[in-house]
Amino acid sequence: MGVVQIAEFNNTIIGKVHLEVRDGIGGIYGLGVLPEYRRKGYGREILIKSVQLLKAKQVNEVMLQVSVETRVL
């Protein structure tokens, strides 16, 4: 199973995540939230819902792909 889930708030797309199950392992890839919706808890909610969806598929493990961007403030 591989599916892209779209996150909406007030009928507006605010983000997305790609979920995949392979050999009993769930994967969360490409989770993103539009800049104007960041730091408001939407990313956390997308992640929690993603784990719940994968658990419903009876996965044994969940793997999360992350990308780090370094910025100088």
- pLDDT reported for residue 1: 58
**pTM of the full structure:** 0.84
Domains of the chain: 2-64 (3.40.630.30)
Which of 5-9, 28-32, 61-65, 69-73 shows the lowest per-residue confidence on average (mean pLDDT)?
Answer: 69-73
> What distances in angstroms separate CA 63 from CA 2, 25, 38, 53, one per listed residue?
14, 7, 22, 13
What pLDDT digit, counting tens, does each position of 14-24 carry?
999 999 999 99
What pLDDT digit, counting tens, does each position of 28-59 carry?
999 999 999 999 999 999 999 999 999 999 99
Burial class (CB in 10 A: 0-12, 13-18, 19+), 33: buried
